[in-house]
Structure 1
C-alpha cells in the first residue's frame, strides 16, 4: 500500500488531483450558500468532474496534436487519460460525504463542512508531500503546504465575506 501511495505522490497526476480538488472546493463553497439536496450536490460534483475531464481531454489532445503535428498514438491517449482521471478524482473526492448525507448517515450541513475542510486538508497534505519528495526540509515543506493551503482558505474566506 505504501509503495502505491509513494508512486502516486511521485507522479504527475498529483498536480491534477490538487487542481481538481480546488475546483471541487470552489463548487462546494458556492453551493453551500443555497444548498441543494445531498443527491443533487453529488450529481453536480459528478457532472462537473465529467465536464472538466472532457474539456481537459479535448484540450490535451489538441495540444498534443498541435505540438507533434498530427501524430497521436494509443500510448498518448493513456497518458492523457491518466491526467484527466486525476482531475476528475480531485473534483469528486468530497462526494463521499454527500452520499453519506443522501443515505441519512450525516446531515447535509455537516457534509458541506466536512467536504470543505477535508478538501483543504487534501491540498495541504499534497503540498507537504510535494515538498518532501522534492528533497525539501520538513520546515520548507510545511511552508509549501501553507502556501497551497492559502488557496483553499481564500476560497472559504471569500465566501464568508461575500455572504
Structure 2
C-alpha cells in the first residue's frame, strides 16, 4: 500500500486530482445551499466529473495539436486520458458519500458535511506531501498543507456568509 501511495504521490496525476477536488468541493458547496436529494447530488457530481474530464482531454488534445503541429499520437492520447481520468476522479469522489446517503446509510446533510471536510482534507494532504517531497521540514510542510486547505475553507466560509 505504501509503495502504491508513494508512486501516486510522485505522479503527474496528483495535480489533476487536486484540481478536480477543488471543482468537486465548489460544486458541493453550491449544491448545499438548496440541497437536492442524495441521488441527484451524486448524479450532478458524476456528470460534472465526466464533463470536466472530457473538457480536460479535449483542451489538452487541442493544445498538443496546435503546439506540436501534428495529430495526437496513441501514446500521447493514453497519457492525456490518464490525466483526464484523474481530474474526473477528483471531481466525482464526493459522489460516494451521496450514494451512501441515497441507500439510507446516512443523512444527506451528513453527506454534505463529510464531502466538504474530506475535500479539504484531500487538498491539505496533497499540499503537505508536495512540501515533504520538495524537502520541506515537517512543521513547514504542515503549514503548507494547512495553507492550501485554507483555499477550500475560504470557499466554505464564503458560502456560509452569503447564504
Give the match for residue 107 of structure 1.
107
Give the match for residue 85 of structure 1.
85
Unaligned stretches of 5+ residues in structure 2: none
**CA shift at 1:71, angstroms?**
4.0
Aligned residues: 163
Aligned partners of 1:47, 1:100: CA distance in 2, in Å? 17
**CA shift at 1:135, angstroms?**
1.4
Give the match for residue 75 of structure 2.
75
Deviations 1:80-121, CA, capped at 9 Å, x for gaps = 011101100001111111011000000000000111111101
Deviates further, 131-140 or 51-60? 131-140
TM-score when scaled to structure 2? 0.97
Give the match for residue 117 of structure 1.
117
Aligned partners of 1:156, 1:118: CA distance in 2, in Å? 13
Aligned partners of 1:12, 1:141: CA distance in 2, in Å? 20
SS at match of 1:65: helix
Deviations 1:16-47, CA, capped at 9 Å, x for gaps = 10110010000000000100000000000000
Deviations 1:60-79, CA, capped at 9 Å, x for gaps = 00001111111421000011
TM-score when scaled to structure 1? 0.97
Structure 1 ranges of 4+ moved more than 2 A: none
Give the aligned CA root-mean-square deviation in angstroms: 0.8
